[in-house]
Amino acid sequence: MSTSKSPFESILKFLSGMGLATTLLLLLGFQTWLATLEMVDAGLLATLRKYFHWTSWYTLGEMPVPFLERHLVVPMPGGYWVCALLLVNMTLGGLIRIRKSPRTVGVILAHFGIIFMVAAGGVAQLYEKRGVMFLFEGEEADYAVSLTKPNLEVLEIEGGEATGEVHLAGDEKLRGLESRDRRLIRFPALPFDLEITGWLTNTVVVPEGSGTSNPAIDGWTLRELPVETEGELNASGCYARVVFEDGTRGNPFILAVPPPSSGMESFAPQMIEAGGGTYAVRLVKQTIPVPYRIKLVDAVAEYYPNSMRPKSFMSDIERIEGESVPVEISMNEPMRRGGFTFFQRTMSSGPQSGNGPEFSGFEVVSNPADKWPEWSLWVVTAGLGIHFISMLIRSVSRVTRTPKSP
Amino acid sequence: MNLVARWILFALGVVFVLGIAGVAIRNASPPEEVRVVADYVPWDEETLRLAESIPVQDGGRIKPLTTYAGFTMLRFYGARKMEIRPSEDADSVKLKPIAWMMDALFRPHLSVRQPSFRVEDSAVIEAIGAEPGERRDRYSYEDLEPGRERLLELASSYARMEKDERTPLENQILTLAENVRNYEQIIGVFGLARNGLRMMPVSGLPDGANSPQRANASAVMATAPMIRRVLQESESRGETIPPHVQNLLQQILDGANSSKFGLFLFPPRNAEDEHWLSPGERVMNVMSMATRDIEGSIADVAAIETLSRTLYDTQESVDALAARMAERLGHDDFDQASPRLQAALTREAAALLDGAEEDRLPFVRRLAFQHELSELRGDLVERAEARGEYGSIELEADYYRKDWFLYALVWFLLGTILAIAMWMVRGLPQRILGYGVWATVLAGFVYTVIPIVKRCLIMGRPPVGNLYDTIIFITAAVVIFGALVEFFTRRRLALGVLPIAGVILITLARLFEVGDANDHMDPLVAVLRSNYWLTVHVITITLGYAGGLVAALLGIVYVLLRGLRLDGGDRGLRRSLTRGVYGMVCLTLFLSLVGTVLGGIWANDSWGRFWGWDPKENGALMIVLATLAILHARIGGFIREWGIHLASIFLAAVVTFSWWHVNLLGTGLHNYGFTDGGGYVNLLYFVVLFFIGFGFVAMAIERAQELPKPEGEAEGEASRA
């Protein structure tokens, strides 16, 4: 009888093996450790991009060397792909190839739970929308603004009013742009496209002659700012020019997201005449529509007496969808409705403010896999519980059967 | 070799016990140098007992004065006990926090001479232009006063700098300035009540009517409507405010400001108002007509005026004071006083009647002060009870009086000594010593669990809400987990580890409390205020830390036993330990994984994201990954007995990173646990590396000496287990 295995079987065995699992788990733990240390200086977003983004096939980890103010550079595969391989390993080894018996029920359940949890993460990464909604008391809104993702918006203008469809170039078209890049953003439904150059992740519009080498247009230019470690503090900007259907190009103009501290949603748009129509172009943070209106009735920030320690942040809102429904949103008590979840994110003032809070900020999230981690937890808990308890029982019964050593 | 190794270990154990005992004693002891504070008279126990459970508001909650005193003293002085001497020849006096606080509040002339400020580096003192002492020393307010202006000036400029840009020296200057400012607020609490207001001569009045005199703030408060009318009339006539009124108002304003922040002592009359009031606020609220409780405010200020002046009554007033006390002793109040106070008053009265003339003054003062303090306390307690805010004050005062964890430490230390002796002998003596270890561990456990339960009752929340809570909770959990391992293995190895772990963890808790100097029973910030999540997530993850530590300790025991050939090649013994470690790694995985995911679900409900790569989350994930790697490597046959034990020792480093190190990074959303102490963390990493290195060397030597056959059999059997 031949014992040689086909290459397919060998690969399958390798991919589902304990050796690969152990290696990947160690590697992932090591990467998590390095990323945790590095994010202190480099910031969360930059560190995640370096270690765990899908575009990072490999990464050069920086391991601190004890007693020396130096780092040892460690090349390793990208964390995203380590996770992906681990998922394959888990599926093959922990679900498909594992021996199916009463003894392995717990292990199979636990692996299934983990895979389900990772799947929840994948779904969230692909389909999650996340933004903020800031409301002053008495104000209403039916949309949130993305925290990080910029949107290039083109609005059709008629009689000075925006009409018709809003044409968008979102994160998928703008992702990865750098200052040296030149990228043509196509708008098939419009009589023109836009050519983007000089993209800056964090910038501010300043008058010409403010000590920057970037081109000046109509007396204004872009000054590059350091990329903030908190991604939502960045305001992107770029130079753009219209490329008409006949290939001719218009004059360059500046597009920029207003700085978060300004409180503005957008700068005045650039007006374009093309194909007999008028269009307004602007760069804003992505808008996320919500299927109902939210009205902030009262924002209540409570602090413990005679201290600066926050006790409770709570917003009384009205959810308006046909009829008005009063709802209370507070820390640990979000509102879930219509595929969106509203979390209490921020309030305008502290205990030192005599007039009380004026506005409330909600984090608005749409995530189809919102509850999946919770469900997967029950599966994992049950799986590990079954496995470890049965192991314990077997071990105890074996000990009681074994005669005592002298 | 075996015997030599055994004695070496014994010696190391003794050094360990002595070292820890030394750290604990040093931690609980005041500095060696005893400062002379001339004419210092200690407070009597009865007065201190009365004072310690006076309710005050601090850190957002109502707590006994003794708690406030304890943590304030820790912040300023770095210890809970101060030793001073009334004169060069006199015996030293040990001041507890409540006595130290009473001095600051009621006898500032003595307090300012006590060495209340710890300064780590004398360069700080040089920088502010005061007289430096030893490199690390303690200074009185009087010592620092010449450099006070410079200190505040420097602190003001450093406060404008980014935190990361400040040098350690600049941080120390900032801390000292903050402590000095807070101290000034405390000694100012009763300043206005004690000193009163100096009245200026009123122009136009005959000389006889203008003799210099003092007025009580409470009396001036009673005339607030009149003063207001005078001000309004002056304003309507376009005249300037009369100088004597202007001067009076300025004194009131200054006095009220200096007694505004040091102590929030008075419960508000309005049941819905959560803010307790300081003496300064009581005064200002009446003077500015910002309260409807004018009579109550005046009564409160009058009460502290009487109280705070009693200690300063002069010899001339002794007879009047004695008469007053005698009258009070026969008054109904006496019958209402507690039996303890009645006894004290009677004793004092007898001493007063029999005492020499020159001794009468201190007697009378003390008696009168005690009586007035009792009156004020009674009133405050009654009002706090009416508001439902006095419920756990006595319990908390008792908690700090009993010092439970010190006793727990003593039991664990005793247990450690017995455990070392137990490992040195065999047969019946070992069994008897084993019972002794069980008994001491049980006592230490009880002395750990009782205060944890008390803390829960006081805080009204589950046991773990901050870093300090985790240490004491992990101590109890380690004892339970270790006892379980011992129950299954019955080799007295896990048993012996328990008191050692108890000693290390309780010492860590005490060091952390002194270093952090924050009241860890203060209420939690908004996002943590969820008893459900604190119970299911925080406790689970903390138990996971405990499991990892027990696994690591057992791993160390294994490595030492086998590496030093102390186990005599007993394969059963090795198997037992391996089984125990394997079980603990499984338990750690279960608790850490479930706890981490529960944390994610909580985060999803609080912040709208399951996973945010926060350092604390990453740390928990690392424990999960490390335990998974150990178990997969074990099942895959990549590690056997040596391997699983060395890996479990490494688990201690991962747990330390997750539990402590991430708090030192200064970033992330779990910002309730930030602390200093990188040195201790690095020490633990070093210890872990040492044992792993030792294990590898021992393993290599064992293999080189070709002892594989029994080893291989043992491995085979163990791996099947």
- Interface subset of A 6-25, CB within 8 angstroms of B: 17-19, 21-22, 25
Distance from CA of B589 to the nearest CA of A (A): 9
Q: Write down the mean pLDDT value for chain B.
A: 86
Would you call B632 and A28 a contact, using CB atoms and an 8 Å cutoff?
no
Q: What are the backbone dihedrals phi and psi of residue A341, each rounded to the nearest 5 degrees, phi first?
A: -120, 135
Residue B124's closest CA among B100, B108, B149, B147? B147
Estimate to the nearest angstrom the gap between the alpha carbon of B184 and the chain centroid.
Answer: 21
3-state helix, strand, coil in chain A (%, to 5): 30, 40, 30
Map residue B650 onto helix, strand or coil. helix
Q: Which of A147-151, A153-157, B47-51, B151-155 has the lowest mean pLDDT?
A: A147-151
* Residue of B57, B633, B654 lying closest to A22 (CB–CB): B633
pLDDT at A356: 54
Distance from CA of A240 to the nearest CA of B (A): 34
Distance from CA of B524 to the nearest CA of A (A): 7
pLDDT at B204: 64
User: Residue A3: is its pLDDT beyond 80?
Assistant: no
Would you call B593 and A398 a contact, using CB atoms and an 8 Å cutoff?
no
Residue B136's closest CA among B121, B125, B117? B121
pTM of the full structure: 0.85
* Residue of B276, B579, B632 lying closest to A22 (CB–CB): B632
For B281-319, the pLDDT digits (tens) are: 999 999 988 888 999 999 999 999 989 988 876 555 555
A39 CB within 8 Å of a chain B CB: yes
* Residue of B57, B594, B626 lying closest to A377 (CB–CB): B594
* Strands (DSSP E) found in A10-118: 58-64, 71-77
Q: Which of A76-80, A225-229, A365-369, B500-504 has the lowest mean pLDDT?
A: A225-229
pLDDT at B327: 62
Distance from CA of B215 to the nearest CA of A (A): 30
* For chain A, domain boundaries: 7-127+371-401, 130-139+289-366, 148-287
Q: What are the backbone dihedrals phi and psi of residue A282, each rounded to the nearest 5 degrees, phi first?
A: -150, 160
User: Residue A174: is its pLDDT beyond 60?
Assistant: yes
Would you call B665 and A363 a contact, using CB atoms and an 8 Å cutoff?
no
* Residue of A21, A40, A377 lying closest to B632 (CB–CB): A21
Regions in chain B scoring below 50 on pLDDT: 1, 671-674, 712-721
A115 CB within 8 Å of a chain B CB: no
pLDDT at B27: 61
Contacts of A303 in chain B (CB under 8 A): 60
Would you call B662 and A36 a contact, using CB atoms and an 8 Å cutoff?
yes
A388 CB within 8 Å of a chain B CB: yes
Residue A350's closest CA among A307, A291, A400? A307
For A242-276, the pLDDT digits (tens) are: 999 888 999 999 999 988 777 777 888 999 998 88
Give the integer Cα–Cα distance in Å for B559 and B564: 8
Query: Would you say the ipTM is above 0.90?
Result: no
For A61-99, the pLDDT digits (tens) are: 989 887 777 889 999 999 989 999 999 999 999 999 999
Would you call B610 and A22 a contact, using CB atoms and an 8 Å cutoff?
no
Distance from CA of B467 to the nearest CA of A (A): 17
The nearest alpha carbon in chain A to B591 belongs to A381
Map residue B507 onto helix, strand or coil. helix
pLDDT at B567: 84
CB neighbour class for B468 (10 Å; exposed up to 12, middle 13-18, buried from 19): buried
A120 CB within 8 Å of a chain B CB: yes
- Higher pLDDT, residue A365 or B527: A365
